[in-house]
Amino acid sequence: MSDKGHIELERQIDSITVGVRHRKDPGDLNALMKSIEEVGLLQPVTITPDGVLICGWRRLEALRRLGRRTLNVWVRSGISDQLSHLLAQQDENEQRKPLSPVETARLYAEIKMLEQEDAQRRMAATQFGGGGRDGGASGSGDSPEPGGDARTRAAQRLTGRDASQRLEQTNWIESVSKDETLGESVREFAANMLTEIDGGAPVSPAYKRVKAAVELATQPTPPSQEEQDEVARLAAEALKRVQEEENAQRLRALRSKAKRAPKHHSPRSFVLMWSELEGWTTLYDVAELAAALKDDDWARFERVVAETIELRDQLREARSAAASA
């Protein structure tokens, strides 16, 4: 993400878009409003080039209540399109597709960086602009701490609560999956854990497993072959769980689609398909197939065969009923 930005003077307050993901209650603004009246707003709020508010909602609200119509803003470029859209939402239903846990963690990291930048600028405004009264930061608004508060605000912006630990852990797992200094089995294990998290698995157990795998792979003495095999086994098990869940989701989707609006092919299509399949069982070597088929391949084959047998029985019964009618 680019760190470019610039100050824009005399921005119309009403031109700034504030999305629904900002907290609803700004709290007591009296001290902040008093500070702004006395020394001005030394630290501008931060917006995107499109005028979407990123940081400084309390400062913006304080200026509104003071009857101000314009303000100085820090225009932050380099904001991802996904984050810009999320910040600009005015309607909860506008986001038709909910964010996945991994997507949420990525946007959390981006918002946290922006919050930290804003806090650092406010801290500089306090140091060089003089201290405000009532503990205020010369009209800066929120606490200028650049660390934990930024994490909390970023998490609350996305989830409505302080889920920063879970989001930090998710991002750490993703960093492991991309770390070229680690072995392939560790990176694959981390990637599979991310897929499980996106599928609804809890983050903390996945984080502990990946952390253990990283510690094992980076210990001073090279891991034994048995330990390397154990990491590979865990990665394979995680991948198998992911594949099984994906297959189950596809099956549920197919069943749901069939219940919603079944669209049957024509009898002619049925006849042509089975004409093409006639004699297909002689085209394969059984021993070769047995050695080559993976578990999910075999499961799919058995499922299709079972569905075919069920259709055969239904057809046989329907034909008998039609013949006796």
45-47 vs 70-76, strand pairing mode: parallel
Q: How many CB atoms lie within 10 A of CB 291?
A: 8
Locus of tokens 């997507």 = 103
Quote the pTM value. Answer: 0.54
3 contact partners, CB below 8 Å, separation of at least 6: 78, 117
- CA gap 263, 214 in Å, rounded: 50
pLDDT of residue 144: 40
Has residue 310 got a pLDDT over 80?
yes
Res. 6: pLDDT tops 80? no
Annotated domain spans of the chain: 5-162, 176-256, 292-325
Number of residues that this document lists for the chain: 325
The residues facing 53 across adjacent strands are 47
Architecture of the domain whose range is 5-162: Alpha-Beta Complex (3.90)
Phi-psi category of 22—alpha, beta or left, where left has phi over 0 and alpha has psi -120 to 50? beta
- Mean pLDDT, residues 67-75: 87
Tell me the residue type at 182: L
Three-state DSSP state, 210: helix
Residues 6+ apart with CB under 8 A from 207: 169, 170, 172, 173
pLDDT at 179 over 70: yes
How does residue 85 score in pLDDT terms, banded at 50, 70 and 90? Answer: confident
Q: Locate tokens 């409505």: which residue?
A: 160
- Provide mean pLDDT across the span 297-324: 89
For residues 12 and 69, is the Cβ–Cβ distance under 8 A? yes
Confidence (pLDDT) at 131: 45
The confidence band for 21, taking pLDDT boundaries of 50, 70 and 90, is: low
